[in-house]
A = this chain, B = another copy of it.
Amino acid sequence: MGSARQVAAGRGRPRDASRDAALRQAAMEVLAQVGYRALTMDAVAAHARAGKATIYRRWESKLDLVIDTCNQLVQRNIPEPDQGSVEADLGEFLTAFATFLTGPVGKAAQALVGELPHEPELAHAFRESFLLPQRDVLRRIIERGVRRGEIRADAPVDTVVELAGAGLMYRLMLIEEPLDARFVDRILHEALLPLLR
């Protein structure tokens, strides 16, 4: 949907990728500040010192803008390590993801969460663009470990993948203690690896 519109927009004038990135950054910052419900295209335009028309040429609605922002951020910030060891790969991935969440992205994600029950399209997009990519990377890391014989063939992979994501999001949103490398090290060595090996 977004890409078809982008192609159409591209016919009129060349796309400026760095301008788009600045607009997405502004969208994320406004989202973190005021939440999805109160976010307006006007506020994003003002925050980015851009005209509202500039934004509407690229995204037809705030839903479209927020979804595209989530997609791009996750694609650029989720690594897929492959060092030949589940311990190393999970450690690298979870640390990178924790760092990513600790910044403004985490605040924006938290602002979205409260509004998901009232915004089914947003909820669907949030899952597809934010949660499933993390889950898929975790699953592939573990599956490579199964093939190498590091991981039990009957390990509870679905449960471990879900609890890894749950642990990060819960600490980000609800627990006062920091979502840091020490926390990642703890869930990795006290829970995830013992359940897999």
Cβ of A81 under 8 Å from chain B? no
Q: Which residues of B contact A56 (CB under 8 A)?
A: none
**In the bound complex, do residue B159 and residue A170 qualify as a contact, i.e. CB atoms below 8 Å apart?**
no
The interface residues of chain A, by DSSP majority, are classed as helix
Query: Could you tell me the distance between the alpha carbons of A17 and B195 in the complex, rounded to whole angstroms?
Result: 48
Copies of this chain in the oligomer:
2
Contact mask for chain A residues 161-176; partner B; CB cutoff 8 A; 1 contact, 0 none: 0110111011101111
Cβ of A21 under 8 Å from chain B? no
Cβ of A125 under 8 Å from chain B? no
Cβ of A43 under 8 Å from chain B? no
Give the residue of B111, B113, B187 whose beta carbon is less than 8 angstroms from that of A159: B187
Cβ of A35 under 8 Å from chain B? yes
What's the minimum C-beta distance from A166 to chain B, rounded to whole angstroms? 3
**In the bound complex, do residue A35 and residue B107 qualify as a contact, i.e. CB atoms below 8 Å apart?**
no
Q: Which residues of B contact A96 (CB under 8 A)?
A: none
Give the residue of B37, B110, B159 whose beta carbon is less than 8 angstroms from that of A190: B159
Query: Could you tell me the distance between the alpha carbons of A115 and B173 in the complex, rounded to whole angstroms?
Result: 10
**In the bound complex, do residue A191 and residue B187 qualify as a contact, i.e. CB atoms below 8 Å apart?**
no
A-B contact pairs, 12 of them (CB 8 A): A112-B114, A113-B114, A116-B174, A127-B174, A156-B190, A159-B187, A166-B167, A166-B171, A170-B170, A191-B191, A194-B194, A194-B195
